[in-house]
Amino acid sequence: MKSSLDSPGDAALGLNPDATHAEKLAHHIHNRRWWILAVVAMAQLMVVLDATIVNIALPSAQKALAFSTADRQWIVTGYALSFGSLLLLGGRVADFFGRKRVFLIGLIGFAVASAIGGASNGFGMLVTARVVQGAFGALLAPTALSLLTTTFTDPKERGKAFGVFGAIAGGGAALGLLLGGFLTQYLSWRWSLYVNLIFAIGATIGAVTFLRHDPKTEKKKLDLPGVLSASISMFSLVYGFSHAETSGWSNGITIAFLAAGIILLGAFVAIETRVVHPLLPMRVVLDRTRGGSYLSVFLAAVGMFGVFLFLTYYMQSTLGYSPVKTGVAFLPMVVVLVISASIATAVLLPRIGPKPIVVAGMLIAAVGLILLTRISVHSSYVSVILPALAVLGLGMGSIFAPSINAATAGISPEDAGVASATVNTSQQIGGSIGTALLNTLAATTATNFLAHKIPSQLLLAEAGVHSYITAFRWSALVFLVGAVISFFLLKWGKQEIGGETMHVGI
C-alpha cells in the first residue's frame, strides 16, 4: 500500500522515486513551511489572546451572569490553573502521539470550550468552560511551537519564523486588550469567546491541508510519576500565587500551596534523573543556553505584566479611556515589538547569537518601565505614555523572539514538544508570579499612601498612580535582574547544543 505522501509526481518534484517516507515527509514540509507557519501563528495567537481578551469582558460578563466579585477572579484563574499545570504533559503527549493529531485535538477542543463559554447561562458553566479551554490550550501551545521547531531548520528561515512567533508571544496580550475592548463595547462580552471559533476554524482547515502525520517512532511509556509531580507542582504554584493576589502572602493557604509546589518541583527533578523515559529529560534544561533562555522568558513574563495590568488600570481608571481606546493605545508598542522581533531573529541572531540581543532587550525594557514612572493624574499620552511603550516594544521584541528561538534550537525531534512546553510553562508561571507579586506591592503602596488622610476623588486617583509607579519600578528591577542572569548564563557565538555545533538561536 502506498503512503499518502507517495505520488506519481515525486520525480518531477526532485524526489528520488525510492525515497523513504521520512524523506518524502521532510520534502513535503519544506515545500509548505510558510503555510505551516501561518497555521501555527494563527493557533498561537488564539491561545495568547485568550490570556487578556476575557479580562476586559469580565465586568460585562459579571453583570450579565450576576456572579460576585470574589468569584470573578476564577474566570481568569481557572484558565491559568489548567493551562499552567498541564503544559509539560501536553508537550510530551505531542512527542508521543504525533504533532498533527495532538494539534488538531487541541484546536477543536479549544474551539468547543470557547463556544460553550460564550453560550454560558451562569458562573458555573463559564468557569468550567475556561478550565477546559486551558486544558486544551496546554495541548495546543507546545505542539504549535514544536511544529515550528521541526519545520524550520535553515538558520535564516528559522530566524524569520521565530521572529513572527516571538512577536505573537510578546504582543498577543496587547492585541487581546484591543480586540476584547472592541468586541465588548460594540458586540457583546460573549464574542470575546466566540471569536476563537474564527481562529480555530481557519487553523483547522490549514492544519488538515498542510500538515502531515509524523513518521512512526518507537512507543515509549509515559512517565506517570513525572506527570503527577509536575502537574500538581505547577497547579500548586499557580494557585498559590493567584491566592496571594487576593489573600496576601502570609495567608496559610497561600503558604501551603507555594510550599507544596516547591517541594513537588524538587521531587519532579529527582524523578526525572532516575526514570528511563522522563517527562522532561534533564538534557533539555541543563544546557546553559536553553536554561538561560527559559529564565529569560520567565523573568520577561514577570516584568511584562507590570505593563499590561497596571497601564490598563491607569488608562481606564485614571485617564478615563474606553476599553477600545485603551487597546488602541497599546498598538504602537505592538508595531515596534513585531519589527524588533523580526530584525532580532532574522538579521542579528545568525551574526551575533542571542546573548547580546537578549541582554540589550532586558536593559531597554527596564528603561521603558522607568520612563513610565513619569505618569501623573493628568499625563499626556503622546509625551509620556507613547515614548515608554515604543521603548518597551523594542525591548520585549529583542527578548522573546531570540529567547524562544534559542530555547528550542538544536533540540532533537523527540524532545521538541517538551522543550516547547517548557518555554510556555516559563511564560505562564512568570505571568502568574508577576500578577500576584506586583498587584500585592501596588495594593500595599496605595493603602500606605491613603493612611491617615481624608479620602477624596483626587486623593484616590493619586494613590492609584502612586501604586502603578511602584509596580513599574519593581518591573524595571525584574528586567535588570534578567539582564544580569542572561549575561552570565547565555553563551557567546557558536557552541554545542544537542551534539550539534551551531549558532545559538538560529
Helix, strand, or coil (residue 7):
coil
pLDDT score at 17: 52
Distance between CA 484 and CA 492 in Å, rounded? 15
Across the chain, mean pLDDT equals 80
> Which of 120-124, 400-404, 465-469, 475-479 is predicted least confidently?
400-404
Under the banding of pLDDT at 50, 70 and 90, the label for residue 26 is low
pLDDT at 122 > cutoff 50: yes
pLDDT score at 366: 96
Q: What is the largest CA-CA distance in the chain?
A: 84
The larger pLDDT score, comparing residue 434 to residue 109, is at 109
- Count Cβ atoms below 10 Å from residue 347 Cβ, excluding itself: 14
Under the banding of pLDDT at 50, 70 and 90, the label for residue 170 is low
Distance between CA 377 and CA 59 in Å, rounded? 24
Closest CA to 325 of 468, 182, 175: 182
Second-level CATH architecture of 22-222+279-503 = Up-down Bundle (1.20)
pLDDT score at 67: 80
pLDDT score at 98: 79
Distance between CA 87 and CA 99 in Å, rounded? 14
Over residues 139-151, the mean pLDDT reads 80
Q: Which three cell numbers stand for residue 400?
A: 522573546
Q: Give residue-wise pLDDT tens across range 230-260.
A: 889 888 888 888 788 778 788 899 999 999 9
The percentage of residues in the chain with a pLDDT greater than 90, rounded to a whole number, is 22
φ and ψ of 494, to 5 deg: -75, 145
How far CA 86 is from CA of 236, 415, 464, in Å, comes to 12, 17, 36
Alpha helices in 373-415 (DSSP H): 386-408
**Confidence (pTM):** 0.77
Over residues 163-167, the mean pLDDT reads 73
pLDDT at 450 > cutoff 70: yes
pLDDT score at 59: 75
Closest CA to 142 of 86, 195, 198: 86
H/E run at residue 503: strand 500-503
The percentage of residues in the chain with a pLDDT greater than 70, rounded to a whole number, is 87
The larger pLDDT score, comparing residue 198 to residue 170, is at 198
pLDDT score at 326: 82
pLDDT score at 306: 67
pLDDT at 384 > cutoff 90: yes
pLDDT at 482 > cutoff 90: yes
Q: Which three cell numbers stand for residue 233?
A: 507542582
Over residues 430-438, the mean pLDDT reads 80
The larger pLDDT score, comparing residue 420 to residue 291, is at 291
Cα angle 501, 286, 477 (rounded to 5 degrees) comes to 105
What is the Cα 447 distance to its own chain's centre? 32
What is the Cα 79 distance to its own chain's centre? 13
pLDDT at 429 > cutoff 50: yes
Under the banding of pLDDT at 50, 70 and 90, the label for residue 305 is confident
Q: Give residue-wise pLDDT tens across range 265-281.
A: 999 889 988 888 787 88
Under the banding of pLDDT at 50, 70 and 90, the label for residue 287 is confident
The larger pLDDT score, comparing residue 188 to residue 96, is at 188
Distance between CA 458 and CA 450 in Å, rounded? 11
pLDDT score at 177: 75
Beta-bridged to residue 503, according to DSSP, are 494
pLDDT score at 214: 63
Q: Give residue-wise pLDDT tens across range 178-228.
A: 888 888 888 888 998 999 999 899 889 988 888 776 655 555 677 788 888
Q: Give residue-wise pLDDT tens across range 343-374.
A: 888 788 778 888 899 999 999 999 999 999 99
pLDDT score at 277: 79
H/E run at residue 14: none
pLDDT score at 422: 81
Distance between CA 140 and CA 351 in Å, rounded? 32
Q: Which three cell numbers stand for residue 401?
A: 523572539
Under the banding of pLDDT at 50, 70 and 90, the label for residue 75 is confident
- Residue type at 463 in one-letter notation: A
